[in-house]
Structure 1
């Protein structure tokens, strides 16, 4: 597949040399300890509702084997295990710092046999073709170094008829929500991060990466180009969060 190139691939957390992947690893390793509470603050806790809606969209398909890409600290995987009761969930991430937080959660919950976490790169998934019934990725695709390659890989490891579910932050399109969102994301979040986070640039990267990410019809077209057939697109909370479900 010829790589089209997307603006989000050129948005980097730091003004320094190094691939996007390397910079993303550095960023998430740095903020891993504060990631969960910062998420709750930035979304005012609504992200829990978004995750629940996305997970429940898979319930009627009864997936047995699930891959959670960019699993981070494992929140999505833990909730998917509770709501869907699959045989096993595999969570992968490129940041060992984030995974270490997730491993502690699994140990506290006694879920090590139900969920496994490992270092893994979405650009080259270390799984056989057609391994999983469902693949999920929550708030991670905008960090992909090569968007088409990452989505194509997720399609490859799905079984025929399997489903991909994506949750991603998005910019509201309508006035005045759009203007209010931009003020919040570009002033309030970075100001809060300066006080509570060791890595100030991580939360400046966030609104830039959201703004640069393909949305709506462009994202639907991309999913189809990468091998998916049916694609459903919904917006949550006045357009702040985008939901995509795509069938292989």
Structure 2
């Protein structure tokens, strides 16, 4: 119990260091665990999220918290963009993403960048669209990150967030935590040998926002009329915000 409270209370640089080290540790099993825990549904969720992106043959896209690159590769597979910058602060996750990009012949279209979402190393109005898959709940300061994302997005461009969220319905708000908090650490222990990382995962969701709250925050930070699409009985959401033209 003390261990769990310690993780919940992580803030600032402590949280950033913990999350970065955690993803470096589990990078080799990350894709497998994603598939097991979602019964393979994470692939279809990304496909649905890409429907909110505007196709661009010449523009550059940014995939933040790209991890091993699956969101970026889905965009490239569908030829929505010709080039995607995949940004993450976990070097080991990006290394796997680079290997995957070469196997898919995307090595010239996928550009891995090690950086922090709170301090994006890009000029204003650099990207036509930005995506984030299962990453925003790990941000140290979501408000600052949203300001940075808005800054580097072109006017009229979309930010598409795909995230596990706290369900708002009465039934799922009770059932989901039971599954996530009890089963997920066991799966992580068995298949990744890392119970700690997969104890953090359900905690990160329980301490995060609902999809409605995320949309409200995006509006406060300057995004125009966010759209919310709920999936998986409200436990996963696509939240889309546009930068004013």
Shared fold per TM-score greater than 0.5: yes
Secondary structure of the equivalent of 2:162?
strand
The alignment status of 1:185 with 2:180, answered yes or no, reads: yes
2:207 to 206, 209, 212: 212
* More strand per residue: 2
Deviates more, 1:59-68 or 1:86-95: 59-68
Distance 1:63 1:166, change over 3 A: farther
CA apart distance, 1:218: 1.9
**Deviation >4 Å, runs of 4+:** 13-18, 59-63
Residue pair 1:168, 1:241 contacting (<8 A) in 2 also: yes
Question: How many Å separate the matches in 1 of 2:55 and 2:143?
Answer: 28
Q: Secondary structure at the match of 1:243?
A: strand
Correspondence for 2:163: 168
Are the aligned partners of 2:117 and 2:145 in contact in 1 as well (CA < 8 Å)? Answer: yes
In structure 2, the residue corresponding to 1:19 is in which secondary structure?
helix
**Alignment pair present for 1:152 and 2:147:** yes
Structure 2: gaps of 5 or more residues: none
Quick check: 2:85–2:111 contact (8 Å CA) kept in 1? yes
Q: Distance in 1 between matches of 2:109 and 2:11?
A: 39
Structure 1 counterpart of 2:87, from 92, 100, 111: 92
CA distance in 2 between partners of 1:140 and 1:104 (Å): 21
Task: Tell me the distance in 2 between the aligned counterparts of 1:233 and 1:178.
Answer: 18
Residues 229, 109 of structure 1: CA spacing in aligned structure 2 closer, same or farther, 3 A cutoff?
Answer: same
What is aligned with 2:225? 230
Provide the rounded CA distance (Å) in 2 between the counterparts of 1:142 and 1:106. 26
5+ residue gaps, structure 1 = 1-9
Deviations 1:137-181 (A, max 9, x none): 000000011110111101100011111000110122224333332
- What's the CA shift for 1:229? 1.4
Q: Residue 137 of structure 1 is aligned with which of 116, 119, 132?
A: 132
In the aligned structure 2, how far is the partner of 1:227 from the partner of 1:155?
A: 7
TM-score by length of 2: 0.91
Asked if the contact 1:63–1:134 (Cα under 8 Å) also holds between the matched residues in 2, the reply is: no
How many residues align structurally? 239
CA distance in 2, matches of 1:231, 1:16: 27
Displacement after TM superposition at 1:225 (Å): 1.5
Cα distance, 1:224 vs. partner?
A: 1.3
Contact persistence 2:56–2:80 (CA under 8 A): no
Distance in 2 between residues matched to 1:15 and 1:150, nearest whole Å: 18
Structure with more relative contact order (C-alpha pairs < 8 Å, separation 6 or more)? 1
CA distance in 2, matches of 1:216, 1:111: 32
User: Is 1:37 matched up with 2:27?
Assistant: no
In structure 2, the residue matched to 1:53 is: 48
RMSD of aligned residue pairs (Cα, Å): 2.2
Note closer, same or farther for the CA distance 1:65–1:18 as it changes in structure 2 (3 Å cut). Answer: closer
Distance 2:181 2:93 in 1: 24
Distance 1:73 1:14 in 2: 27
